[in-house]
């Protein structure tokens, strides 16, 4: 069997889903190779655990270990040729799920073909839509079918952590899905230390903590620090510290990554300093505490450009429309 996996990305109309997936995979296998089939489907050749990627990701909706990539017209023949008995036990319960990105009504037909092909190889296998041990997953796009298997297909629930659902609310709070995506762009692994120096209500700290990253938050406002701590506690999460301090005088020596959403507009006080100046000064601070090769993810209005970047390579820049007067830019910096 190959090391190829495929992923179905959410259709956000942004470059973020692909970038997030690349970043998470690179975190576990820096030699992985990527093939973007289109903006929603990505095939990745590498040695990493599919479930780890799917559990962490904000924008990958599903994925599978690749079994076949074929034309729809040859699908039946290709599916029947798959040795399901090589990776499934005979008495296993299974389900077939098809994500159909084409405009042809093919899902039911494909699921039926898969069901009978599995049964042919594994006569004792039982279909279980509720709680299958193995899932045969397919994506139909254009004239093509990608088929694979997985044992993980949980839906991530963001609703319970949306800004209004947390005990401490502020209008500047980021949505959990977006905050998770930012954490993933920073290439942090379980046990690494991530800093959010403008932590506000703690959105980034919460999403990083959930996936096993150690965090430190800083905010110049005591109210925000307390609010961040209340929010973390509400989800039974802990940060190594939420420090009431100025991000331009960082009380920290060394972190593995910085992920932050800088203050701008009316919602986020920057104590009279213009966002552009604050950012310029902050970049110098970031340079002092980030080791070579590590990442700094900065969210800022797209009307403001980052300066003082000599110590960093600008790896990527993404944009996300928020409303008429705000489009967020996400700049991915890597320390040289």
Residues of span 162-191 touching ligand SAM by CB under 6 A: 170, 172-174
Q: Residues 136, 65: contact at Cβ < 8 Å?
A: no
Residues facing 133 on adjacent strands: none
Q: Residues 330, 185: contact at Cβ < 8 Å?
A: yes
Residues of span 223-252 touching ligand SAM by CB under 6 A: 224, 246-248
Q: Which is nearer to ligand SAM, 27 or 228 (CB)?
A: 228
Residues of span 270-299 touching ligand SAM by CB under 6 A: 270-271
Write the CA distances from 104 to 38, 81, 143, 201, integer angstroms: 18, 24, 9, 45
Residues of span 202-221 touching ligand SAM by CB under 6 A: 203-204, 218-221
Q: How far is the CB of 86 from ligand SAM (least distance, A)?
A: 46
Residues of span 9-28 touching ligand SAM by CB under 6 A: none
Q: How far is the CB of 256 from ligand SAM (least distance, A)?
A: 19
198 binds ligand SAM (CB under 6 A): yes
What letter would DSSP give residue 291?
P
Instruction: Using CB positions, name the residue nearest to ligand SAM.
Output: 200
Query: Does the CA dihedral 97-92-73-71 come out positive or negative?
Result: positive
- Give kind and range of the element (H or E) at residue 244: strand 241-244
Q: How far is the CB of 187 from ligand SAM (least distance, A)?
A: 19
Q: Which is nearer to ligand SAM, 70 or 173 (CB)?
A: 173
Q: Residues 8, 138: contact at Cβ < 8 Å?
A: no
Using CB under 6 A as the binding criterion, the count of chain residues that bind ligand SAM stands at: 24
Which residues are CB-neighbours of 307 under 8 A, at least 6 positions away? 276, 279, 280, 283
d(CA 267, CA 136): 47
Q: How far is the CB of 198 from ligand SAM (least distance, A)?
A: 3
Q: Which is nearer to ligand SAM, 45 or 246 (CB)?
A: 246
Q: How far is the CB of 16 from ligand SAM (least distance, A)?
A: 16
Q: How far is the CB of 145 from ligand SAM (least distance, A)?
A: 40
Which residue's entry shows tokens 């307390």?
Answer: 226
Q: Which two tokens stand for residue 5?
A: 């996996």
d(CA 71, CA 235): 46
Q: How far is the CB of 273 from ligand SAM (least distance, A)?
A: 7
Q: Which two tokens stand for residue 40?
A: 């929603």
Residue 96's SS3 state is: strand
The correct pick among 50, 161, 263, 294 for binding ligand SAM (CB under 6 A) is 263
Q: Which is nearer to ligand SAM, 29 or 246 (CB)?
A: 246
145 binds ligand SAM (CB under 6 A): no
Q: How far is the CB of 216 from ligand SAM (least distance, A)?
A: 12
The correct pick among 94, 200, 256, 279 for binding ligand SAM (CB under 6 A) is 200
- Other beta carbons within 10 angstroms of residue 28's beta carbon come to 16
d(CA 136, CA 72): 16
What DSSP letter does each residue of 60-104 carry, written as one string?
Answer: EEEEEEEEEEEEGGGHHHHHHTS-GGGTS-TT-EEEEEEEE-SSS
Interface residue list for ligand SAM (CB under 6 A): 170, 172-174, 197-198, 200-201, 203-204, 218-221, 224, 246-248, 261, 263, 268-271
């Amino acid at each position: 069997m190959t090391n190829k996996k495929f992923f179905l990305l959410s259709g956000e109309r942004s470059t973020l889903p692909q970038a997030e997936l690349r970043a998470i995979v690179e975190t576990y296998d820096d030699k992985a190779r990527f093939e973007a089939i289109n903006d929603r489907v990505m095939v990745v050749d590498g040695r990493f655990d599919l479930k780890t990627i799917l559990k962490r990701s904000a924008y990958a909706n599903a994925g599978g270990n690749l079994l076949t990539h074929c034309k729809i017209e040859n699908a039946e023949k290709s599916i029947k040729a798959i040795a399901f008995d090589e990776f499934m036990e005979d008495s296993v319960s299974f389900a077939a799920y098809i994500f159909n990105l084409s405009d042809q009504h093919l899902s039911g037909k494909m699921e039926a073909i898969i069901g009978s092909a599995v049964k042919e190889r594994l006569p004792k296998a039982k279909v279980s839509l509720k709680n299958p041990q193995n899932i045969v997953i397919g994506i139909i796009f254009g004239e093509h079918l990608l088929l694979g298997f997985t044992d993980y297909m949980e839906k991530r629930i963001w609703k319970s952590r949306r800004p209004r659902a947390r005990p401490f609310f502020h209008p500047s709070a980021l949505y959990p899905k977006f905050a998770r995506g930012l954490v993933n762009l920073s290439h942090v692994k379980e046990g690494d230390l991530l800093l959010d120096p403008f932590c506000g209500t703690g959105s980034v700290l919460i999403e990083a903590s959930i996936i096993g990253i150690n965090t430190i938050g800083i905010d110049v406002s005591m109210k925000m620090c307390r609010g961040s701590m209340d929010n973390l506690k509400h989800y039974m999460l802990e940060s190594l510290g939420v420090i009431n301090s100025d991000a331009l005088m960082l009380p920290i020596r060394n972190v593995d990554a910085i992920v932050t959403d800088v203050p701008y507009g009316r919602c986020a006080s920057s104590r009279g300093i213009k966002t552009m100046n604050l950012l310029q000064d902050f970049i110098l601070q970031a340079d002092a505490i980030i080791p070579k090769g590590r990442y700094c993810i900065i969210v800022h209005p797209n009307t403001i450009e980052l300066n003082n970047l000599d110590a960093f390579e600008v790896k990527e820049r993404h944009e996300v429309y928020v409303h008429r007067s705000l489009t967020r830019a996400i700049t991915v910096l890597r320390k040289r």
